[in-house]
Amino acid sequence: MSRRRVVVTGMGVVAPCGIGLDAYWQGLLSEPEPGLRRIEGFDPAPYFDNPKEARRSDRFSQFALGAAAMALEQAGELRANPARVGVNIATGVGGLTTLEEQILVNYQKDSRRVSPFLVPMMMSNAASAAVSMKYGFQGPCETTVTACAASSHSIGSAMRYIRWGMVDVMIAGGAESAMTPTALAGFGNMTALTRSGISRPFDAERDGFAMAEAAGVLVLEEYEHAVGRGATIYGEILGAGNNADAYHITAPSPGGAGAVACMELALADAGITKADVRHINAHGTSTPLNDAAEAEAVAKLFDAPGPIVTSTKGVTGHALGAAGAIEAVAVLLSMQHRLIPPTACTSALDPELAPIDLVLGEPRAWEPGISLSNSFGFGGHNGSLVIAPPA
């Protein structure tokens, strides 16, 4: 079976700490205000042909189209057969905002007042469909829905489509906007959300995640195709791991066993050893169980002191199905800027956790090298991406 190289030629991001790559990078180096991580100042109008289309799209789809437009602009003219360009925009819950709004319309007004656009706005595949239709991409058009691992899984799947020769280009990532009153109540009542409003990954005082909305999109391209059109290459997806804890609907498996196995699968898929890994962008949600399991998994797999570890969720909060995508962008930007952002709001590594080399306080300079980006979701879904700087 063909094993073609897969490179990144475009990136786009819509995040609470910044819209666009420059603003996002500066945001990753800042200290956030406490509270929910909502995106302020996003105007969907430039990404739609007319205002009516924007109103007929859920906010998560609007974010996806914005991030995709940025990534495609950076990538330049693809010069690809549209039938060999695919899309996979992941999400955790899809158009929950629209669904909740229209449920209220149904019960407070009348069923005849429910929008005829409810179904195409709320369906989880709406963002992928919107991107493919806007740009005329006729290759595989799919949506990965695996909770907080979704967009890491979407990037891994897209990589394999290119690696196996099924397509030449994939537009992959994730989008989420699920901070409705009912969703916040649900996450809050299960004690997943921070009560303090502060995301403190791996800190002794961590008490839950700060919920966020976001979108991140990568243009993935077969290496020779990218070189042939003179594209700038920002990094390479070497491999991906994907497995299940098969343990509990919300809690990670004891000792991070599933996470260890997932990272091992990713390393094997990439054809590298654990000694080759320089950096890990951790899932690091700021929840007691997740951070403990991930720290233990990293310490078990890697020889001390292990790779440099950071969690960007101290700044971004947890964007559920979009988390892996914006974190993959963070890894690529860390390579570009030769700096790893600190784990914001974390003062010290919890002494009860397994020892990891966590970046604290200030960004850390590094010689860019092979990195892991971890995503672990409710349901026991695990995903790890292996990302390398451009060769």
pLDDT of residue 2: 59
User: Rounded to two decimals, what is the model's pTM?
Assistant: 0.96
Q: Residue 216: what residue type?
A: G
Q: Residue 135: what residue type?
A: Y
For residue range 33-44, list pLDDT tens digits in order.
898 999 999 999
pLDDT of residue 332: 98
CB 138, CB 169: distance < 8 Å: no
d(CA 199, CA 335): 24
Residues of the chain with pLDDT under 70: 1-2
What are the CA-CA distances from residue 1 to residues 4, 124, 324 (Å)?
10, 32, 28
Residue-range domain boundaries for the chain: 1-380
CB 30, CB 344: distance < 8 Å: yes
CB atoms inside a 10 Å sphere around CB 255:
14
CB atoms inside a 10 Å sphere around CB 181:
9
CB atoms inside a 10 Å sphere around CB 186:
12
Q: Residues 28-56, buried b or exposed e (16+ Cβ, 10 A)?
A: beeebeeeebebeebebeebbeeeebbee
pLDDT of residue 303: 87
pLDDT of residue 124: 97
Active site members: 148, 283, 318
CB atoms inside a 10 Å sphere around CB 68:
33
CB 212, CB 317: distance < 8 Å: yes
pLDDT of residue 83: 98
Token couple for 201 = 């990954």
CB atoms inside a 10 Å sphere around CB 107:
9
d(CA 368, CA 244): 30
* In the block, residue with structure tokens 């709001």: 345
Query: Going by C-beta distance under 8 Å and a sequence separation of 6 or more, which residues neighbour residue 5?
Result: 163, 222, 223, 224, 236
Domain 1-380 is found in CATH 3.40.47.10: yes
For residue range 226-253, list pLDDT tens digits in order.
999 999 999 999 999 999 999 999 999 9
CA nearest neighbour of 346 among 225, 207, 223: 207
CA nearest neighbour of 371 among 309, 326, 316, 302: 309
